[in-house]
């Protein structure tokens, strides 16, 4: 299937001109696959032998927790690569399930072809390395949540993370707005909403925080930190 795409919105392709992209896809060996909403694009543990480039639509990535639940890692919108850092890993398997959240299109470029691009476009290699290096803190922080056993511990980690972000704009603030509601947080942690609501209520009763919908006021940051142990 012939495809003519503008990949300039993808961080790894910013230095490649539209004309170069057109020439590249004329000679590049790749597969183009279409997925319907809800289709599984890759399963956790699948071999990662191609660069998966999401060129249309959006996907979510999820990981199976120790309790058998699904933990949402992130949502990705086109145009972005999927699990690009794992293509050259010694254990090059998908660390997550990847599912289409709307009708989507993915280009799959074999590893050998992808390496050929590095030789032809040195700036592309630089962009690839930079992109993956910049993304490393995100999955590391999210996977850290998996090591915290209690819901209150997971909440404390998330609240403190949001608190630190808020303090970049206002160092003296104690009050800020979460970027997720309780339903979204429960799915984010792979727990039930009632369990999460109960943990929030207990944290408020213990004098750690005050809550008002998505608004959080920090009362005892040290106490929140102790929940991470």
Structural domains of the chain, with CATH? 11-136 (2.60.120.10), 148-226 (1.10.10.10)
Residue 65 has pLDDT above 70, yes or no: no
Contacts of 63 (CB under 8 A, 6+ apart): 44, 70, 71, 73, 95, 96, 97, 146
Higher local confidence (pLDDT), 124 or 143:
124
Average of pLDDT values for 157-184? 87
Residue 165 has pLDDT above 90, yes or no: no
* pLDDT for position 58: 95
Radius of gyration over alpha carbons of the chain, in Å? 21
Under 8 Å between Cβ of 91 and 45: no
Residue 229 has pLDDT above 80, yes or no: no
- pLDDT single digits (tens) 100-121: 999 999 999 999 998 888 888 8
Least confident of 14-28, 52-66, 83-97: 14-28
Q: How do the residues of the chain divide into helix, strand and coil, expressed in percent and rounded to 5?
A: 40, 25, 35
| Dihedral Cα 99, 101, 102, 108, nearest 10 deg | -30
């Amino acid at each position: 299937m012939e495809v003519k795409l503008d990949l300039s919105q993808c961080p790894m392709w910013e230095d490649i001109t539209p004309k170069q992209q057109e020439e590249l896809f004329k000679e590049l060996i790749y597969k183009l696959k279409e997925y319907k909403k809800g289709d599984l694009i890759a399963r956790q543990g699948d071999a990662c032998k191609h660069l998966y480039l999401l060129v249309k639509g959006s996907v979510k990535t999820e990981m199976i927790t120790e309790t058998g639940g699904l933990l949402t890692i992130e949502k990705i919108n086109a145009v972005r690569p999927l699990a690009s850092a794992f293509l050259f890993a010694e254990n090059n398997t998908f660390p997550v399930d990847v599912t289409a959240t709307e009708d989507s299109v993915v280009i799959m470029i074999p590893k050998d072809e992808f390496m050929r691009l590095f030789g032809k476009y040195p700036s592309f290699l630089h962009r690839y390395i930079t992109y993956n290096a910049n993304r490393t803190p995100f999955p590391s922080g999210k996977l850290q949540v998996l090591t915290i056993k209690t819901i209150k511990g997971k909440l404390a980690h998330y609240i403190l993370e949001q608190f630190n972000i808020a303090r970049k704009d206002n160092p003296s603030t104690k009050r800020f707005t979460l970027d997720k509601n309780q339903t979204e947080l429960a799915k984010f942690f792979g727990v039930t909403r009632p369990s999460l609501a109960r943990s929030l209520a207990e944290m408020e009763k213990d004098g750690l925080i005050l809550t008002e919908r998505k608004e959080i006021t920090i009362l005892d940051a040290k106490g929140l930190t102790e929940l991470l142990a």
